[in-house]
Amino acid sequence: MNHMDNSFTYQPATDRYNRMQYKYCGKSGLQLPLISLGLWHNFGSVDDFTVATDMIKYAFDQGITHFDLANNYGPVPGSAETNFGRILKENFQGYRDEMIISSKAGHEMWAGPYGGNSSRKNLMASINQSLRRTGLEYFDIFYSHRYDGVTPVEETIQTLIDIVKQGKALYIGISKYPPEQARIAYEMMTKAGVPCLISQYRYSMFDRAVEAETLPLAAEYGSGFIAFSPLAQGLLTDKYLNGIPEGSRAARSSGFLQRSQVTPEKIEAARQLNEIARLRGQTLAEMALAWILKDERVTSVIVGASSVNQLADNLKALEHLDFTPDDLAEIEQILARMI
Ligand SMILES: NC(=O)c1ccc[n+]([C@@H]2O[C@H](COP(=O)([O-])OP(=O)(O)OC[C@H]3O[C@@H](n4cnc5c(N)ncnc54)[C@H](OP(=O)(O)O)[C@@H]3O)[C@@H](O)[C@H]2O)c1
């Protein structure tokens, strides 16, 4: 192995991989770590590059092999991919085959009619831009980031299939597709011999919309399932229990968590959930992640983090993944009272 970095010694691979648990992604031969790292926030040009670098190194050293990007992550849009590419170049030469790197296209990215939808034009241009920014030869997983409501699903999905055929991605996935469009996508991909590896949706104790249709549908078609914002952007941690701290996502102008989303109902629920977590010997963040991973259809959770310490806390979820029926019933009651 070629170690470019002098200040950091990676754990021997056996230690690294013993720390993590891996799971097959749907009916594929690809295993993903139960905890993946997302680069939506905290890896852009407005963020501290040293902290970003430390988080990627730490994650990899703990067996997190899967890094989730999108063309528009930043801010500025694109800068998370540029920074990740630089981190790879400076620290991970020789490790590419131990990593699963994902990107996506479909949200607003550049000016004009081709810069922000799910058309063939957008996806093809976007993957080329993303490969250039990251310096990669291919992505392991490339997603359609959303159904845009206008572009025929068939156009988007055929483009994903062609992206695999062109060697620009190994696997494909969909994100946030409504069930009707997801079914069309799964059918088409299966028929083309490029099945949907993975479906990416928001899923947490505070947002369970996927449980009704989306999660069963993904399982029906053999697609893996990966949950984004599993901590509800920080609401399912102890962070907001005593107000909105300075520097938190809800306090930052570049954060997607609005102050108005930090509601008294959510904080009260988080306080009660925090008590259950404490009795289980976990933090709320750890319990919130374990709670998602208890569903065998879920392949992985993508956490975000603004520090190595947060990532370290979140990884401790793996030490206690089981729930007693009483724990589950109490959690259900708390969540039911929120609605
Ligand atoms: N497909 C899509 O459309 C889509 C949409 C959204 C996200 N995603 C993916 O999912 C990833 C994760 O989303 P997310 O960042 O919203 O996930 P999240 O895990 O729900 O929230 C992460 C935030 O929670 C706080 N946090 C995390 N661990 C903590 C801990 N142990 N203690 C206290 N606070 C903690 C941090 O906020 P502070 O900054 O306040 O410290 C962190 O930035 C993204 O990076 C992206 O890859 C995909």
Across 70-92, average pLDDT: 97
Q: Is the CB of 230 under 6 A from ligand 1?
A: yes
Q: Give me the helices (H) in the chain, please.
A: 13-19, 49-61, 79-91, 120-134, 153-165, 179-191, 214-220, 264-280, 284-293, 308-315, 325-338
Q: Take atom 27 of ligand 1 and give the residue whose Cα is closest.
A: 305
DSSP 8-state secondary structure symbol assigned to residue 125: H
Ligand 1 atom at minimal distance to the Cα of residue 313: 31
180-225 pLDDT, tens digit each: 999 999 999 999 999 999 999 999 999 999 999 999 999 999 999 9
Q: Is the CB of 151 under 6 A from ligand 1?
A: no
Distance 235 CA to ligand 1 centre (A): 10
Pocket perturbation via mutation, ligand 1, pick of 306, 308, 313, 315 by most ligand atoms within 8 A of CB: 306
272-297 pLDDT, tens digit each: 999 999 999 999 999 999 999 999 99
Q: Is the pLDDT of residue 3 over 70?
A: no
What is the per-residue pLDDT for 255? 82
For the chain, list the domains and their CATH numbers.
15-240+292-319 (3.20.20.100)
Q: Take atom 48 of ligand 1 and give the residue whose Cα is closest.
A: 228
Q: Is the pLDDT of residue 271 over 70?
A: yes
- Mean pLDDT, the chain, whole residue set: 95
- DSSP run (H or E) holding 35: strand 35-38
Which position has the token pair 């990532």? 311
Asked if 161 contacts 186 with a C-beta cutoff of 8 angstroms, the reply is no
168-178 pLDDT, tens digit each: 999 999 999 99
Q: Take atom 4 of ligand 1 and give the residue whose Cα is closest.
A: 228
What is the per-residue pLDDT for 253? 83
Tell me the C-alpha distance between 214 and 185, whole Å: 13
